[in-house]
């Protein structure tokens, strides 16, 4: 698992509940989403985590960091967390705009 010191403290031995995240844009890039969700701490870490096949989208390993996530997609990083993207106002949090840095 590619976790920095900040991310490592988030890992627990218990199964985490799926978090619902409201998306207020049509899509968000996978690497940006991982940083926003706290699964990784840097863009480089996101790139490596995705490249090593440690990220699944809808149950399928995903190796494209530019993968566009949309409402309904489920992102899983084993040992870190699982997030379901929902339409605007349906989730526990709100992902940033697709054009945000």
For the chain, the structural domain boundaries read 15-95
Q: Which fold has domain 15-95?
A: 3.10.290
Return the axis-axis angle of helices 43-51 and 30-37, rounded to nearest 10°: 120
By CB atoms closer than 10 A (0-12, 13-18, 19+), residue 41 is: middle
The CA distance from 10 to 8, in Å, is 5
Alpha helix segments (H runs only) across 18-93: 30-37, 43-51
pLDDT in tens, 68-80: 999 999 999 999 9
pLDDT in tens, 23-70: 889 999 999 999 999 999 999 999 999 999 999 999 999 999 999 999
Beta carbons of 69 and 85 less than 8 angstroms apart = yes
- The Cβ-side half-sphere exposure at 2, using a 13 Å CA radius, reads 18
pTM score, two decimals?
A: 0.73
């Amino acid at each position: 698992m590619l976790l920095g010191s900040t991310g490592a403290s988030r890992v627990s031995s218990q199964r985490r509940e799926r978090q619902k995240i409201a998306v207020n844009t049509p899509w968000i890039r996978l690497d940006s989403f991982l940083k926003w969700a706290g699964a990784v701490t840097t863009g480089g870490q996101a790139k490596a985590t995705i490249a090593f096949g440690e990220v699944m989208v809808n149950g399928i390993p995903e190796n494209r960091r530019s993968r566009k996530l949309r409402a309904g997609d489920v992102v899983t990083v084993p040992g870190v967390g699982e997030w379901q993207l929902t339409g605007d106002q349906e989730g526990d949090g709100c992902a940033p705009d697709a054009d945000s840095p």
